[in-house]
């Protein structure tokens, strides 16, 4: 989780804010790429914007910019004079922090804005720009069997999508909404308390702020594993007419629990029964929440797919085959029932099935029979 740590490191943010402020008040206008980079930097977190405000206020009060010989007021005056000289054949290019925001046009009346005032415009520009920026990575992302994908979203969050999965991203100005349509995905969430990050899976919702977690959608259940921070789980507050209907977005929800780092939870993905909360009260779906805590080793094992590996630590062969089958089109069958309980350990690269079968044969005494290109049988 180094990326999450660096994103909110106050020392790094303070240095970056100072560098941006000096750069913005320099002689050369920002390039298009630099403008985009600044806006993205300001949207990383509330801490980024607060630090830029703090350091700007300090510099404004201490007249630091004057000491740097780049006073905004003088720059505004020179721009004003340059634009109004009759003999001038070419206007002076807009420069500096204020110029980047409004070409100094707001300074022609009433003198120069204070740097703090200018910063308000800057922060406003972050929010305005975000309305266009936050939809740039919207869409549906799909993986085939055995395929893994990693995507960085408009807010800096990272999605890792597991095999045979589909994720729909729908960011807007109010919320960062994601629907897991099938399969499994891991989310590293860029911290922003003002911009909720919600993952919908089945009939449930996982809400997070600046955290990391995975969600797996099965036919009857939703599994959530938290690798950093905390998430909140919620389900519909009333029965859905069609018990197989998925929750597609914000609705009347009720919390069914919170998960912290290293915790794992499963809850029902079907509403097949209701509970009464009193005479005449609305009926509520029963969602059995099972919560456990994973040791660091087990957490790493269950999330090893993000790095392209499947790791087993004395899991029964039946479980190993079920998990491996998610990553291949092969039909793997265990012929001898006694083998189901055989404990298997090892670290296997996703997609390298022959190497795994060799380990089965050489290390665990399992006979691997290749019936045809798509059929594998395991026996004593």
Residues 57 and 19 in one domain: yes
Residues 356 and 318 in one domain: yes
CA distances from 173 to 47, 88, 178, 196, 250 (A): 19, 44, 14, 10, 14
Residues 119 and 157 in one domain: no
Q: Let me know: does 183 contact 162? Beta carbons within 8 Å.
A: yes
Highest-pLDDT range among 26-30, 216-220, 328-332: 328-332
CATH code, 167: 2.60.120.1440
Partners of 168 in the β-ladder = 140, 179
Let me know if residue 125 belongs to a domain: yes
Residues 58 and 147 in one domain: no
Residues 231 and 359 in one domain: no
43 pLDDT band, cuts 50/70/90, is: confident
Let me know if residue 74 belongs to a domain: yes
Let me know if residue 303 belongs to a domain: no
Q: Which tokens go with 286?
A: 């029963």
Counted domains in the chain: 3
Residues 257 and 211 in one domain: yes
Let me know if residue 279 belongs to a domain: yes
| Of the residues 94, 115, 133, the one at which a domain ends | 133
Reported pTM:
0.64
Is 50 exceeded by the pLDDT of residue 93? no
Q: Give the mean pLDDT of 272-278.
A: 41
More confident residue, 138 or 67: 138
Residues 71 and 157 in one domain: no
Q: Give the mean pLDDT of 102-113.
A: 38
d(CA 234, CA 281) in angstroms, rounded, equals 20
More confident residue, 296 or 39: 296
d(CA 203, CA 251) in angstroms, rounded, equals 10
Is 70 exceeded by the pLDDT of residue 195? yes
Let me know if residue 345 belongs to a domain: yes
* DSSP 8-state class, residue 135: T
Is 60 exceeded by the pLDDT of residue 282? no
Residues 98 and 49 in one domain: yes
Q: Let me know: does 321 contact 313? Beta carbons within 8 Å.
A: no
Let me know if residue 270 belongs to a domain: yes
Long-range contact set of residues 295-304: C-beta below 8 Å, sequence gap at least 24: 295/262, 296/262, 299/225, 299/227, 299/262, 302/225, 302/264, 303/186, 303/214, 303/225, 303/227, 304/347
Residues 287 and 148 in one domain: yes
Q: Let me know: does 171 contact 153? Beta carbons within 8 Å.
A: yes
Residues 126 and 12 in one domain: yes
How high is the pLDDT of residue 105? 38
Let me know if residue 195 belongs to a domain: yes
| Of the residues 101, 133, 165, the one at which a domain ends | 133
d(CA 61, CA 116) in angstroms, rounded, equals 9
How high is the pLDDT of residue 336? 93
Let me know if residue 16 belongs to a domain: yes
Packing angle, helices 115-133 and 32-42, rounded to 10? 90
| Of the residues 133, 160, 175, the one at which a domain ends | 133
Residues 62 and 153 in one domain: no
Range of the domain at 79: 2-133
95 pLDDT band, cuts 50/70/90, is: very low
Long-range contact set of residues 128-131: C-beta below 8 Å, sequence gap at least 24: 129/39, 129/43, 130/39, 130/43, 130/173, 131/173
Q: Let me know: does 366 contact 360? Beta carbons within 8 Å.
A: yes
CATH code, 353: 3.55.50.30
Q: Could you tell me how many residues make up the chain?
A: 380
Highest-pLDDT range among 122-126, 201-205, 256-260, 318-322: 318-322
Q: Give the mean pLDDT of 188-208.
A: 91
d(CA 331, CA 378) in angstroms, rounded, equals 11
How high is the pLDDT of residue 27? 64
332 pLDDT band, cuts 50/70/90, is: very high
Residues 279 and 318 in one domain: no
Is 60 exceeded by the pLDDT of residue 186? yes
Helical segments of the chain, H only? 2-7, 10-24, 32-42, 46-62, 64-67, 72-83, 96-102, 115-133, 296-302, 317-324, 353-364
């Amino acid at each position: 989780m180094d990326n999450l740590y660096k994103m909110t490191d106050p020392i790094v943010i303070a240095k970056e804010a100072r560098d941006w402020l000096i750069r913005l008040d320099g002689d050369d206008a920002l390039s298009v790429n630099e403008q985009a980079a600044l806006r993205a930097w300001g949207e990383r977190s509330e801490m980024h914007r607060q630090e830029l405000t703090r350091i700007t206020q300090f510099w404004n009060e201490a007249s630091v910019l004057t000491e740097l010989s780049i006073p905004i007021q003088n720059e505004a005056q020179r721009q004003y004079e340059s634009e109004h000289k009759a003999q001038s054949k070419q206007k002076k290019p807009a420069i500096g922090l204020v110029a980047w925001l409004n070409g100094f046009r707001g300074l022609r009346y009433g003198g120069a804005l204070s740097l703090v005032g200018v910063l308000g415009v800057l922060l406003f520009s972050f929010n305005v720009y975000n309305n266009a920026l936050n939809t740039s990575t919207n869409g549906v992302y799909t993986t085939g069997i055995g395929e893994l994908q990693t995507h960085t979203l408009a807010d800096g969050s990272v999605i890792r999508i597991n095999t045979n999965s589909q994720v729909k991203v729908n960011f807007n100005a109010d919320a960062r909404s994601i629907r897991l349509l099938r399969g499994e995905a891991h989310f590293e969430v860029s911290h922003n308390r003002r911009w909720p990050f919600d993952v919908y899976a089945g009939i449930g919702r996982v809400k997070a702020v600046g955290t990391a977690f995975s969600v797996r959608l099965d036919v009857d259940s939703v599994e959530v594993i938290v690798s950093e921070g905390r998430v909140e789980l919620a389900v519909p507050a009333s029965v859905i007419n069609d018990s197989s209907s998925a929750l597609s977005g914000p609705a009347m929800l009720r919390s069914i629990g919170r998960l912290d780092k290293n915790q794992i939870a499963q809850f029902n993905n079907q509403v097949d029964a209701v509970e009464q909360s009193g005479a005449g009260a609305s009926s509520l779906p029963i969602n059995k929440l099972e919560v456990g805590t994973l040791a660091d080793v087990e957490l790493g094992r269950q999330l090893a797919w993000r790095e392209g590996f499947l790791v087993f630590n004395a899991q029964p062969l039946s479980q190993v085959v079920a998990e491996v089958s998610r990553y291949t089109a092969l039909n793997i069958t265990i012929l001898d029932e006694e083998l189901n309980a055989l404990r298997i350990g090892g670290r296997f690269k996703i997609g390298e099935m022959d190497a795994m079968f060799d380990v089965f044969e050489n290390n665990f005494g399992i006979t691997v029979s290749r019936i045809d290109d798509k059929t594998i049988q395991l026996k004593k």
